[in-house]
Structure 1
Amino acid sequence: MSFRIRAARDEDLQPLYEMAKLTGGGFTNLPPDKHALEAKLDRSRASFAREEDTLGDDLFVLILENVATGEVRGTCQMFTRVGQTWPFYSYRIGTLTQHSAELDRTFRADMLSLSTDLEGSSEVGGLFLHPGERAGGLGMLLARSRYLFIAMHRARFADHILAELRGIIDEAGGSPFWDGLAGRFFGMNFQDADQFNAIHGNQFIADLMPKHPIYIAMLTDTARAAIGLPHPSGRAAMRMLENEGFGFDNYIDIFDGGPTMTARTDRVKAVREARTAAVLTCDKDGGNQALVATGRLADFRCAYGVVREQERDHVVLDPGCAQALGVREDDQVCYAGR
């Protein structure tokens, strides 16, 4: 069975909506709301249609498709520059050190400060794989296809990139971090606030969130324990991000306290190692497992394949990969080791 990544289309709305209903909450970039998803697809279509190779406020939505059946089985997203429509808020974990000469003691207090430090960065997010497909490396195909897209359209992305991981969500769908902090100021439960943010943006955070630093010691035990931890379903995603060169730099999500991972775009492994070559021919005589992509903007496709490098920037592809991507001899491909 073969899968490929392609640009999202208007007709993907219903399968995206069906997948969004499976996320279990706290998944801001894939809300179970048809109007919000339709707006995302509209914005993505406009971004794919924009021809200028300049940094703008673009959103690209990609789809994982079963080549044989045409079924949509996963999705992921890329934002080229966050914080343009409304501020991009994070909590930054810091430490305040104070010394008392009379007591001859030094006190160190961990604090959360509302921050827009990451504004202007690119973001990878919205990754969801249908529960029935969570095998065979398809999650990695979704995740790493974004970095090949970035490598192939580098001028349209910022020099820094981030990924927000969903935080701890309890069995009732609530967030211990939200309940212990922001929920006390907003009079809204986590599900309502998360849904409102996904549909309307987070300007209400700027309007109502306290601007003063928060002493972590004053939070509830459950809220403190959730700070910087990914949802159990996101641990594999966190490891993949770390393998690509992302790190945790003490920024967390303001809603659920999940970790925000950051990296320099050009140091992301798949971006750094991406190579471009022309297809010499296709055969089954072996080579190295790779992620292979082709096509510009809306014509972008990506799949797993076997690549055998040749001289003068040429490669030999296995026929299955070539068929999934729709490439022939002399077509250009971008690839990175699997």
Structure 2
Amino acid sequence: MHLVRPCTLDDLSSIESLVRDNQARIASLPRKRARLAERIEQSMRSFQSPNSPSDEGKFFLFVLENTQTGELVACSGIAMNNELKRPFYNYRLGELIHASEEFDIHTPVSVLHLTHELTGRNVLCSLAIRDDLVDTDCFQLIARARLMFMRQFAEYFSDQVVVELQGVYGEKGQSVFWDDLGRNFFNMDFANANYHVATKSRTFLAELMP
């Protein structure tokens, strides 16, 4: 039998292995052990007081345990971004049209607009599962258990959710988007920037990004 439950610090090594072995790069679960432990501790505090104010934001991390063997085979999470003082930054892809009727020129130009229009939505994140269980009921259980939790405690969550999908990574595991854009304005790599966003503050994004 498999059981979904909140994570604890006793799960650190197992979650670390899931993150390390998972093909997807999970930005909300740091690969460094000390930082991953901080995320688990944040989750434990969130489960203890889900409706209390928090400067660090709420984060719920669930694990899927094989009750016969005690092995953790998957995890998934919810990040609550419904505090207006912690805006959720994203880029919206738009388009400008440069046109000249006289010269018969019509050129569309893609433009990224930095927005925080997704602030107030909760984020489904941190999904990792053992490779051999991807197309099984275990995958469905750990993915949907978060929605069941949100339904049971609907008063804590927003009516809309956001799902973050993995971006493009280079051959050395670097974020292509970050290296081409973000690194020009921040003196840090993507892993450090994401760590600050997840555990500290997002305001530096608005302060430094164009």
TM range (shorter): 0.7 to 0.9
Q: Which residue of 1 aligns with 2:173?
A: 173
Alignment of 1:77-156 (within 5 A): 77-82=77-82, 86-156=86-156
Please give the residue correspondences for 1:318-329 in structure 2 after superposition, counting only pairs within 5 Å. Answer: none
Question: SS state of the match for residue 142, structure 2?
Answer: helix
CA distance in 2, matches of 1:173, 1:108: 32
Residue equivalent to 2:58: 58
SS of structure 2 residue aligned to 1:95: strand
Unpaired segments ≥5 residues, structure 2: none
Within a 5 Å distance, the mapping from 1:211-230 to structure 2 comes to: none
Bigger radius of gyration: 1
Look up the SS of the partner of 1:18 in the other structure. helix
8 Å CA contact retained: 1:55, 1:81 = no
Aligned-partner SS, 2:38: helix
CA change 1:195–1:58 in 2 (3 A) is closer
- C-alpha distance in 2, partners of 1:183/1:83? 27
SS in 2 for 1:170: coil
> 1:241-320 residue pairs with structure 2 within 5 A?
none
**Counterpart residue number, 2:5:** 6
Shift of 1:16: 1.8
User: Comparing both structures, which one devotes a greater share of its residues to strand?
Assistant: 1
Residue 24 of structure 1: how far off its partner (Å):
5.9
Matching residue's letter, 2:153: H
TM-score (norm 2): 0.82
Deviation at 1:185, TM superposition (A): 3.3
CA distance in 1, matches of 2:145, 2:186: 38
1:74 aligned counterpart, secondary structure: strand
What is residue 273 of structure 1 aligned with on the other side? none
Q: What RMSD, in angstroms, separates the aligned Cα atoms of the two structures?
A: 2.8
SS in 2 for 1:21: helix
Check 1:83–1:176 CA distance in 2 against 1; reply closer, same or farther (3 A cut): farther
Aligned partner letter, 2:43: S
Partner secondary structure for residue 126 of structure 2: strand
Q: State how far apart, in whole Å, the 1-side matches of 2:140 and 2:149 are.
A: 14
In structure 2, what is the equivalent of residue 29 of structure 1? 28
TM-score scaled to structure 1, two decimals?
A: 0.54
* 1:160 matches 2:160: yes
How far apart are the structure 2 equivalents of 1:79 and 1:47? 10
Q: Is the CA contact (8 Å cut-off) linking 1:173 and 1:191 kept in structure 2?
A: no
Assess, with a 3 A threshold, how the Cα gap between structure 1 residues 123 and 172 changes in structure 2: closer, same or farther: same
Match status 1:49 vs 2:12: no
SS of aligned partner of 1:38: helix
Question: Once the 2 structures are TM-superposed, how far is the Cα of residue 193 of structure 1 from its aligned partner?
Answer: 4.0
Tell me the distance in 1 between the aligned counterparts of 2:153 and 2:200: 29
Provide the C-alpha distance between the structure 1 equivalents of 2:109 and 2:24, rounded to a whole number of angstroms. 32
Question: Does structure 1 conserve the Cα–Cα contact (< 8 Å) formed by 2:81 and 2:87?
Answer: no
Who is 2:70 aligned against? 70
Give distance in 2, aligned partners of 1:200 and 1:134.
32
Q: Quote the offset at 1:173 in angstroms.
A: 0.6
TM-superposition CA deviations, 1:286-316 (whole Å, max 9, x none): xxxxxxxxxxxxxxxxxxxxxxxxxxxxxxx
Q: Helix, strand or coil for the counterpart of 2:21? A: coil
**Cα separation, partners in 2 of 1:59 and 1:197, compared to 1, 3 Å:** closer
Q: Is the 8 A contact 2:82 2:158 kept in 1?
A: no
